[in-house]
Amino acid sequence: MPDRPQLGPTIFVLFGATGDLSKRMVLPAFFQLARSGLLGSRWMLIGTGRGTVTDDHFRAHVRDSLTQFGGGHTDDGWDDFAQRLRFAGGGFTPEDPGTLPSTVQDARDSLGVPDAQLVHYLALPPSTFADTTRALGAHDLARGSRVVYEKPFGTSQSAFRELDAAVHEVLDEKQIYRIDHFLGKESTQNLHILRFANGLIEGVWNREHVEQVQIDIPETLDIDDRARFYDATGAVLDMLVTHLFQVAAEIAMEPPLSLGADDLQSARESVIGAFRPLDPTEVVLGQYEGYRDVDGVADDSETETFVAARLWVDTDRWRGVPFLLRTGKMLGVAKQRVSLVFRTPEGPLSDIPPDGAVLTFDLSGDGEIDMSMVVKEPGPDDELSVGHLSLPLDTMPLGHALAPYSRLILDVLHGDRSLFTRPDGLAHVWDVADPLLNRPPAVKLYPGGSMGPPEADKLASPCGWLVTQSTG
């Protein structure tokens, strides 16, 4: 990231500040930015909610969140951070703004800047996005502001269009930041940086050299702490058409004119228009055994906790190359792997190990890039074997990895929209998902700790999934 200019005076309004996402992700991310000196000194954070909470109670809540989810090191920098926190209660609807307008005015007065940049972060249930946006317009808090929408931004083509229209009645597209935190991961950004910075990689980034792409995010997590949300959502909406599609678009995109925000966003979002609508016979849905016994899950729930899909990208670069996508809960291993499997070359060598040449991006943690290659086994004979090279990104000497939410919030504060989704891309997402949503295959049961229903393995044949239970 090139050096960023100093942040101007900013008021960050966190809607849903006492909720789960704020506690686990947004507040720790904000604290990381403050402690790293990336926020400068001219900012305030206002939490909002429907209850009436004093500033001091809110500060105590924030401190608890940081202790629990921010790595526990709150002492350094806490006093300065705490005195910038305020709470505005009483809810926020088009009819009644509660105390938010007056709290914003107080924050402007404290900063001594009447036109401080307003950033609204909607860490709220998606059902409230439209009304909260209307309320921003009604109470004169939308003008010149930036508004961050959590996912999912719509749950079907029609719901997406309705929400998009409601939001655009109040805001210009340039003010809107639809977040997908997988785009904020260090390794995800390396999908385009590694490619465009290295001719060696860019030269083979196509169907002539790549046999298949795997985007594989198995999780060992269950859904106990968010069962109601999950049961109404499922793996297809929670992960497949959101995070996995955006990562697929990062891989599949054509070179943008520049890595400037508009060009990068355009390249990524427009290739989604070339994703072929999913064929339900190329999708496997699963539910882990015992899911229906979880508190908050319906006894007869058909919600999928696992999805594997074969996606085709109909561009000259990728025609005929399967993109294999897989994710699920309660699986045997937790990994976040994106792999390009290279074709075996024609030539003088026979017995080349299949799938020996693989470039892998590990999206978890600070990220890692790995390369497997077929090499000669040292010794007297020409025995072939597969060797591995690893580049953990946290070993880069000048690196200071930011957590995905920290990176994306920083981008919003600086008005950089490169890593956010656009409505044209999202409209295509729903075109691609529609056949699956309308004609889903039967959900197969799988035992917790396995790698999902066996039918998913057939989708990936002949190569098979690179992440297996023993990879863990």
Ligand X SMILES: NC(=O)C1=CN([C@@H]2O[C@H](COP(=O)(O)OP(=O)(O)OC[C@H]3O[C@@H](n4cnc5c(N)ncnc54)[C@H](OP(=O)(O)O)[C@@H]3O)[C@@H](O)[C@H]2O)C=CC1
| Residues recognised as catalytic | 243
In the DSSP assignment, the letter for residue 276 is P
CA distances from 68 to 13, 28, 64, 86, 324 (A): 22, 9, 6, 21, 36
x/- track of binding to ligand X for residues 336-375 (CB under 6 A): ----------------------------------------
Tokens of 361: 């991006």
Q: Is 210 helix (H, G, I), strand (E, B) or coil?
A: strand
Helices (H), 142-288: 157-168, 186-197, 199-202, 227-231, 234-235, 245-252, 261-271
Q: Strands 368-376, 358-362: parallel, antiparallel or unpaired by DSSP?
A: antiparallel
Contact status: 232 vs ligand LXAUTJHC (CB under 6 A): no
CB-based closest residue to ligand X: 19
DSSP, collapsed to helix, strand or coil, labels residue 443 as strand
185 labelled as ligand-binding?
A: yes
Question: 151 a known binding residue?
Answer: yes
**Cα of 289 vs its chain's centroid, Å:** 27
Residue from 7, 8, 19, 440 touching ligand X (CB under 6 A): that is 19
Q: Tell me if 16 contacts ligand X by CB under 6 A.
A: yes
Task: Tell me the pairing of strands 146-149 and 283-288.
Answer: unpaired
To the question of whether residue 61 is assigned a binding role by annotation, the answer is no
Q: Which amino acid is at 241?
A: V
Contact call for residues 377 and 383 (beta carbons, < 8 A): yes
Instruction: Give whichever of 239 and 311 is closer to ligand LXAUTJHC, judged by the CB atom.
Output: 239
Q: In terms of CB distance, is 237 or 338 closer to ligand X?
A: 237
64 binds ligand X (CB under 6 A): no
Quick one: 281 exposed, middle or buried, by C-beta within 10 A (0-12, 13-18, 19+)? exposed
Distance of alpha carbon 232 from alpha carbon 69, whole angstroms: 26
Q: Is 231 in the site for ligand X (CB under 6 A)?
A: no
Residue 51 binding: pick among ligand LXAUTJHC, ligand X, none (C-beta 5-8 Å cut-off by kind): ligand X
- Which one of 112-120, 124-132, 342-350, 355-363 is the stretch in contact with ligand X (CB under 6 A)? 124-132
- Name the one range near ligand X by CB under 6 A: 19-27, 160-168, 273-281, 369-377: 19-27
Kindly give, in sequence order, each residue whose CB lies less than 8 Å from that of residue 323, ignoring residues fewer than 6 positions away.
212, 213, 214, 215, 248, 251, 252, 310, 311, 312, 313
Closest CA to 308 of 250, 249, 360, 236: 236
Q: Under rule CB under 6 A, how many of the chain's residues touch ligand LXAUTJHC?
A: 4
Q: Is 157 helix (H, G, I), strand (E, B) or coil?
A: helix
Using CB distances below 5 to 8 A depending on partner kind, what does residue 368 bind out of ligand LXAUTJHC, ligand X, none? none
Residue among 238 and 304 whose Cβ is closer to ligand LXAUTJHC: 238
Residue 102: closest CA among 82, 124, 86: 86
Residue from 35, 151, 168, 343 touching ligand X (CB under 6 A): that is: 151
Least Cβ distance, residue 107 to ligand LXAUTJHC (angstroms): 30
168 labelled ligand-binding: no
- Binding ligand LXAUTJHC (rule: CB under 6 A), the pick from 60, 197, 221, 445 is 221
Q: Which of 6, 36, 51, 193 binds ligand X (CB under 6 A)?
A: 51
Residue 21 annotated as binding site: yes
123 is in an annotated binding site: no
From the list 49-57, 165-173, 190-198, 204-212, the region that binds ligand X by CB under 6 A is 49-57
Q: Is 466 labelled a binding residue?
A: no
Binding ligand LXAUTJHC (rule: CB under 6 A), the pick from 150, 238, 362, 416 is 238
End-to-end CA distance of the chain: 32
DSSP 22: I
Which parts of this chain interact with ligand LXAUTJHC (CB under 6 A)? 219, 221, 238-239
Which residue ranges make up the site for ligand X (CB under 6 A)?
A: 16, 18-21, 49-51, 123-126, 128, 150-151
Residue list, annotated binding site for substrate = 181, 185, 219, 238, 329
